[in-house]
Amino acid sequence: MRQTGRPSMTIRDDLHEVPSGEVLTMPFSTRSMPVGATLTGRRSLLVLALTCLIWLQTPSTAWAGENRWFVILGSLPQTPAGLQQAQSLADQVTRQLSTTNLIVAETAFYPGLTPDLYVVMLGPYFSSANAQQALRDSGVRRVVSDAYVKQAQERAF
């Protein structure tokens, strides 16, 4: 082992022994990093990944995972043509109404909506009354005459 004036460390597994400062290439890695950075980086990434996984599995009591209300403007097939139609509807609504809560999304992110569709909607609203009021007062019926209110969950991202 060489002396560099700083503490050195040797990493050992069953096949390799790599002194500190050398480059360790793991079989699953496409990059080489200094040993110390690799361990610290990988541990940090592992902790971060586990924290995110736990966070995603635990819905926030303030928002995600709770039932909300939406004004549904359109549901279209989850195909490239359906996405184009959804975006076209969203553009039309944006041109004719001044709204900041327009959503174009896959219904998979909103349990309670019919799966495998693109949805164009306003929301979320905390109550049916709020959503009904938005439907009445926003002028959305001038653009989409068959818009309706529906309850769904927001999945935590």
- pLDDT at position 127, please? 95
pLDDT at 13: 42
What's the pLDDT tens digit per position in 43-57?
A: 655 555 555 444 444
For 132-155, how does the pLDDT look when each residue is reduced to its tens digit (9 = 90+)? 999 999 999 999 999 999 999 987
* Whether 81 and 104 share a structural domain: yes
Q: What is the CATH classification number for the domain harbouring 93?
A: 3.30.70.1070
Question: Alpha-carbon distance 138 to 142, whole Å?
Answer: 9
> Does residue 3 lie in a domain region?
no
Task: Tell me which residue range forms the domain holding 50.
Answer: 10-57
Look at the block and give the residue holding tokens 């990988």.
42
What is the total count of domains within the chain? 2
- 71 plus 46 within the same structural domain: no
- C-alpha 138/C-alpha 157 separation (Å) is 29
Q: Which residues contact 128 (CB under 8 A, 6 or more apart)?
A: 69, 149, 151
